[in-house]
Amino acid sequence: MNKKEIKIIRVNTDGRTETNDYVAVEKKISFKNSKGQIIELTCSPGYEEELITGHIYTETDRKVDIEFGSYKLQEISNKELLGYAEKVISIPQELFEATGCAHSCGLVYNGEIICHMEDIKRHNALDKAVGYAVMNGIPLNDVIVITSGRASLDYLEKAAAAGVRAVVSRAAVTDAAVDFAKEKNMTLLGFARNGRANLYHEGNIKIVYENSEEISR
């Protein structure tokens, strides 16, 4: 179980009410990284093997510069990309809906949502998704990462270390993340909601616009 029911006192301007509510379960795991060092993480229960695999996999920069033509994912339409983002974001998030204390990360590969992970930490959710891809032989340089959390520099560094070339966030993007996306030529979008998003850098995945006319505000 990744949630726990506890007794609480709900306080408002009229007074107090005794009731029950759910809180997210947080557990600690420890493991050895690729250098033999003991690593301790707190996380949501479930998919611990994927979390450990993904965490170790993203420890070092594994991103290899490959000719553009060797990638399977070379272009995507704006409608497809935003459609995937909307589908991932709309997937029921049990822990978040029960506790409000979780981030999610989905991977889109070959036109399908291949996994959807949830954790109290956005980096853990990404590591679980990366671990899932590694354990199932999915080439990470051809997946699109869709996250509920903000796209900060450390998040993009972790994604890039796994070979990911496209990150779409439902939340905000930092300036350092934009600079990093430009340096690594990653596709980066933020505020992906309701069929819209801010494109901060196109990267080497070309976005094809089905409606080529620019829409005025």
Q: Read off the pTM.
A: 0.89
* pLDDT tens digit sequence for 169-200: 999 999 999 999 999 999 999 999 999 999 99
* pLDDT tens digit sequence for 79-137: 999 999 999 988 877 888 778 778 999 999 999 999 999 999 999 999 999 999 999 99
Q: Does residue 209 register a pLDDT over 50? A: yes
> Alpha-carbon distance 93 to 23, whole Å?
14
Helix axes 122-135, 153-161, angle to 10 degrees: 10
All structural domains of the chain, each given as residue ranges with its CATH number in brackets, are 27-208 (3.40.140.10)
